[in-house]
């Protein structure tokens, strides 16, 4: 109604908006500058919008928006009229929240699916539909709220987290245990919280909001059918809590560190399944379950990933399946904790070719399988590797790496803020104290991306930590060849010595990383005179124990087999007196081959 619009007290930006009302494009661009955020609510169904018919709850179509319109906490009709909301957005399904504490308006449009589903009826096709709708509307909204039944919400949240590649905006699933139409219900609070977070914070994740908490979507599981507090995220703290204030736990929020464009991969493989172990399960059951066309299975094992190791029949069935290309992920039946190989009963599953699921929920593992197996252009080995990698924060395996992937200097800023530091010099001192151990931690896990990020924030990758150990020392210890290469091409020095006088070369020798030794040598690394002198004794002891691999590594690093040990004997003499076998490996090394030829002759 344009007459009301003209009389309304409008902010300048809104007046501009109205004056260009006929041009859709200019309206869209102006809204970006406004204090309004836009959220798309995709209503797929669930208890939140159900009513009772014939004594049972079922979704009610075309009732949700009308009902919200009458709820002042979820819609401000006065503002909608004054600001010509319906004209402007051209949709009767667009509503607006009352103004927030920081004067922000969240305008939300509801896209209702037909039919609305009890989430027990959901299939992978429905996940695909949600994904496509997010993709289609991605640029027009600041965030997305998916209304969904609670029964399979954890599956959908997990699946969407994988399907949404390079996500940069919040996608928040929510729902209710009691319909929004009832006097006492949790639906209003859940919807309101989800809308407020989706509209105000750039959390680039698929999340689940329930009972005042925002969780990472692929970390949750439904744990209570009769409580408002229906979900748990057993292995990851909430991303946010909505108490008196909304507090975002930014350190936990996943950062994709990507410059690639958002896209949704709607291809999903349905030949996947969950198999829960129980005492006395027969091999025939397992065999039947693993039959083609099965391609991926989540085995829910006991405790920390255990299965009977006195059941060769059962293990044989698992082995046969993995040999024939079925990917089997080992997840625990426990609510909390991770799969490990601390027991013999856990190791047998590794030996049978299973991939550890770490602390993934079965829901996350299953939907990850479905997503990964659908990637037609990848071969089996790459798919297996993806399954053991942390793709969207669904597992803690390389959480250290995730935390280190600081694409900006926020970490340092947070510390500076905590310590009330404001001047540049102090800030730099903090950075210099913190960044070397961070770089070393990144080197330990082979995380080149984290090192890149640290470099971007001004870290000198040559610097050592409190013990003078540099990232190159650590990478050499761990045998991360690529990382050693990276460090060397980014200013790291092979001559760095830690407080114990060790160089990256001596570290690589100690931990026997042949390729790293070769690369360091090629770059000019060498033993010090003292090291060369001490090498004689070391070589003799290696020779005495017939440790050819050790002798080879030391030789590659530049040690001389003719150098005398503490008692004047050389390694060659020790070999001659204690081992008369042949040493063909030595002939491959020109420097020593003459000595060995002499020795052998």
Active-site residue numbers?
150
**Residues sharing a CB contact under 8 Å with residue 326, sequence separation 6 or more, in sequence order:** 290, 294, 295, 296, 297
Strands 263-264 and 246-248: unpaired
Q: Are 112 and 139 in contact, with CB atoms under 8 Å apart? A: no
**Residues sharing a CB contact under 8 Å with residue 78, sequence separation 6 or more, in sequence order:** none
H or E element: which one contains 385? helix 380-388
Stretch that binds ligand ASN, among 114-122, 159-167, 367-375, 565-573 (CB under 6 A): 114-122
The residue within the footprint of ligand ASN, chosen from 131, 149, 193, 464 (CB under 6 A), is 149
- Applying CB under 6 A, the site for ligand ASN has a residue count of 10
Does position 151 interact with ligand ASN (CB under 6 A)? The reply is yes
If the CB atoms of residues 18 and 180 are measured against ligand ASN, the closer one turns out to be: 180
Helix count and strand count (H, E) for the chain: 27, 19
- The answer on whether 577 is annotated among ligand-binding residues is no
If the CB atoms of residues 144 and 231 are measured against ligand ASN, the closer one turns out to be: 231
If the CB atoms of residues 22 and 114 are measured against ligand ASN, the closer one turns out to be: 114
Stretch that binds ligand ASN, among 102-110, 117-125, 180-188, 458-466 (CB under 6 A): 117-125
- Which phi and psi angles does 460 have, rounded to 5°? -90, 115
**Smallest distance, Å, CB 46 to ligand ASN?**
4
- Which phi and psi angles does 56 have, rounded to 5°? -130, 155
Does position 76 interact with ligand ASN (CB under 6 A)? The reply is no
If the CB atoms of residues 227 and 593 are measured against ligand ASN, the closer one turns out to be: 227
**Residues sharing a CB contact under 8 Å with residue 127, sequence separation 6 or more, in sequence order:** 156, 159, 160, 163, 266, 268
Q: Residue with the closest Cβ to ligand ASN? A: 149
Does position 470 interact with ligand ASN (CB under 6 A)? The reply is no
Stretch that binds ligand ASN, among 145-153, 203-211, 242-250, 402-410 (CB under 6 A): 145-153
- The answer on whether 570 is annotated among ligand-binding residues is no
Does position 446 interact with ligand ASN (CB under 6 A)? The reply is no
**Smallest distance, Å, CB 188 to ligand ASN?**
14
Does position 53 interact with ligand ASN (CB under 6 A)? The reply is no
If the CB atoms of residues 213 and 473 are measured against ligand ASN, the closer one turns out to be: 213
**Smallest distance, Å, CB 374 to ligand ASN?**
25
The residue within the footprint of ligand ASN, chosen from 150, 174, 301, 409 (CB under 6 A), is 150
If the CB atoms of residues 31 and 150 are measured against ligand ASN, the closer one turns out to be: 150
Q: In the beta sheet, which residues pair with residue 37?
A: 106
Q: In the beta sheet, which residues pair with residue 325?
A: none
- The answer on whether 119 is annotated among ligand-binding residues is yes
Does position 175 interact with ligand ASN (CB under 6 A)? The reply is yes
The residue within the footprint of ligand ASN, chosen from 17, 43, 46, 295 (CB under 6 A), is 46
Segments of 47-202 assigned E as strands: 50-53, 56-59, 94-96, 105-117, 143-147, 164-165, 171-174
Does position 119 interact with ligand ASN (CB under 6 A)? The reply is yes
The residue within the footprint of ligand ASN, chosen from 94, 177, 356, 573 (CB under 6 A), is 177
For the chain, first and last CA: distance in Å? Answer: 106
Which segments of 83-202 does DSSP mark as H helices, in order?
85-89, 124-137, 153-163, 187-200
**Smallest distance, Å, CB 153 to ligand ASN?**
7
Strands 164-165 and 213-216: unpaired
Q: Are 97 and 108 in contact, with CB atoms under 8 Å apart? A: yes
If the CB atoms of residues 174 and 301 are measured against ligand ASN, the closer one turns out to be: 174
Does position 142 interact with ligand ASN (CB under 6 A)? The reply is no
Q: Are 447 and 481 in contact, with CB atoms under 8 Å apart? A: no
Segments of 321-475 assigned E as strands: 327-332, 355-356
Annotated binding site for substrate: 119, 150-151
Site residues (vs ligand ASN, CB under 6 A): 46-47, 118-120, 149-151, 175, 177
Annotated binding site: 119, 150-151
């Amino acid at each position: 109604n344009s007459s009301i619009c003209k009389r309304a007290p409008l902010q300048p930006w809104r007046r501009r908006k109205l004056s260009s009302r006929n041009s859709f494009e200019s309206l869209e661009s102006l809204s970006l500058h406004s204090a309004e955020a836009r959220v798309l609510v995709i209503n797929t169904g669930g208890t939140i919008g159900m009513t009772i018919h014939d004594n049972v709850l079922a979704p009610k179509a075309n009732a949700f928006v009308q009902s919200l319109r009458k709820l002042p906490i979820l819609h401000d009709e006065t503002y909608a009229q004054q600001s010509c909301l319906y004209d402007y957005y051209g949709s009767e399904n667009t509503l607006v929240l009352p103004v927030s504490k920081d004067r922000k308006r969240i305008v939300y449009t509801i896209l209702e699916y037909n039919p609305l589903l009890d989430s027990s009826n959901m299939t992978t096709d429905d996940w695909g539909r949600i994904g496509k709708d997010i993709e289609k509307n991605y640029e027009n909204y600041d965030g997305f709220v998916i209304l969904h039944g609670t029964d399979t919400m954890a599956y959908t949240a997990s699946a969407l987290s994988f399907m949404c590649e390079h996500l940069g905006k919040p996608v928040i699933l929510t729902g209710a245990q009691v319909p929004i139409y009832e006097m006492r219900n949790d639906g209003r609070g859940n919807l309101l919280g989800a809308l407020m977070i989706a509209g105000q914070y750039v959390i680039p994740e698929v999340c689940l909001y329930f009972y005042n908490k925002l969780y990472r979507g692929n970390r949750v599981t439904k744990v209570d059918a009769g409580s408002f507090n229906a979900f748990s995220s057993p292995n990851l703290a909430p991303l946010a809590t909505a108490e008196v204030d909304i507090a975002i736990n930014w350190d936990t929020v996943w950062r994709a560190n990507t410059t690639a464009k958002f896209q949704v991969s709607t291809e999903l493989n349905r030949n996947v399944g969950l198999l829960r172990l129980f005492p006395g399960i027969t091999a025939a059951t397992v065999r039947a379950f693993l039959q083609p066309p099965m391609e991926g299975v989540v085995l829910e094992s006991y405790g920390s990933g255990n299965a009977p190791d006195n059941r060769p029949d059962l293990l044989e069935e698992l082995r046969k399946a993995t040999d024939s290309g079925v990917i089997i992920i080992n997840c625990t039946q426990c609510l909390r904790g991770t799969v490990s190989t601390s027991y013999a009963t856990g190791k047998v599953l590794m030996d049978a070719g299973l991939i550890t699921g770490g602390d993934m929920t079965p829901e996350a593992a299953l939907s990850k399988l479905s997503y990964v197996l659908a990637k037609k252009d990848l071969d089996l080995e790459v798919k297996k590797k993806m399954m053991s990698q942390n793709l969207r924060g669904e597992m803690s395996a390389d959480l250290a790496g995730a935390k280190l992937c600081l694409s900006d200097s926020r970490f340092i800023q947070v510390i500076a803020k905590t310590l009330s530091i404001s001047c540049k010099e102090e800030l730099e001192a903090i950075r210099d104290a913190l960044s070397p151990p961070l770089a070393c931690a990144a080197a330990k896990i082979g995380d080149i991306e984290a090192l890149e990020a640290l470099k971007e924030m001004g870290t000198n990758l040559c610097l050592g930590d409190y013990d003078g150990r540099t990232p190159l020392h650590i990478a050499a210890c761990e045998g991360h060849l690529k990382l050693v290469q990276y460090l060397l091409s980014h200013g790291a020095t092979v001559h760095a010595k830690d407080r114990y006088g060790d160089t990256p070369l001596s570290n690589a020798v100690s931990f026997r990383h042949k390729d790293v030794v070769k690369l360091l040598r090629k770059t000019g690394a060498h033993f010090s005179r003292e090291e060369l002198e001490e090498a004689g004794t070391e070589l003799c002891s290696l020779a005495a124990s017939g440790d050819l691999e050790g002798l080879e590594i030391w030789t590659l690093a530049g040690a001389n087999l003719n150098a005398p040990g503490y008692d004047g004997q050389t390694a060659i003499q020790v070999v001659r007196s204690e081992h008369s076998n042949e040493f063909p490996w030595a002939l491959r090394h020109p420097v020593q081959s003459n000595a060995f030829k002499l020795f052998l002759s």
